[in-house]
Structure 1
Amino acid sequence: MSDIATPGHNSIQKVPAKSKYFEHVQLPDELTASPEDFCKNAWYSNLFYDPYREVYYRIAYPPSTLDKDIRPLELIQFGRKNFSILILDKDFRILGETLFPDNTYNPQIMFVRPEGLYICDSHYLNPRFNDDILSFRKYELAGE
């Protein structure tokens, strides 16, 4: 469930917007959690509005493993190992969800344009990663 405020912020309603890739969120305790906890546990991140298609994109991080020799703080900076994007219509009904490949995209750097949703593919574990280039992939919303 997600809390959604009305445009005037005079009321809040709960709407179901749950990922199909995990059952529940497991937030680490901020005082005792290790960086590894923030890389492994399932949770939700940002919600983006796409005014061109009148949809919302909700970032979800499914439970994950931490590969050997990976520094957790660096992985957190680049958006974790993997993530999914839930697509919600203007009334917050789920239209679909896409799971993205491991260590390829950085969902912390994305933006919406008339042409589509642009997601940064400059994840430091991506084989095509170049520290001198910040690159993006364009995604278009398509029917089933």
Structure 2
Amino acid sequence: MEQSMKVQIVPMNGDHLDEVAELERVCFPDPWSRNMLKEELGNDLAAFLVALDGQGAVAGYAGLQVVLDEGYILNVAVRPDCRRQGVAGQLLQVFLDFAKGNQLAFLTLEVRASNYPAIALYGSRGFRGVGRRKNYYEHPKEDAVIMTLDLTGEEETDE
């Protein structure tokens, strides 16, 4: 059973950039640079959140881009020592609440085919695998599973 870590979720700002860039380096073989992250802070279509631990350090972060009524989850990363403690789920829940509150049609994301914990987390929140992107990831080369959460209430498709 996953133990829940108490975190404070806040919008990412310039003060978080060094820690988030380090988290990218630890978590991903092709990390976003500090500069790329900084540029996203000025992107009106994107929202980045950080989960702060009890000492105010970044335990995890996530990004969402919204285009019209579509939400694209860009990145979700959690410090290795904070994993399996509900941090990613708490970040994801903020995006789910936002999507529902703003009547987005869906949320979608790509995840490494071998990232079973992430696939299980997204599946537990209603995301379903809808396709694959062949060799989407490098280092190592791997397919991405495209997962989508439909928020339209499928029974309302009689237009």
TM-score, normalised with respect to structure 1:
0.31
Q: Write 1 or 2 for the structure with the bigger share of helix.
A: 2
Q: TM-score, normalised by structure 2?
A: 0.29
Structure with higher RCO (Cα < 8 A, 6+ apart): 2
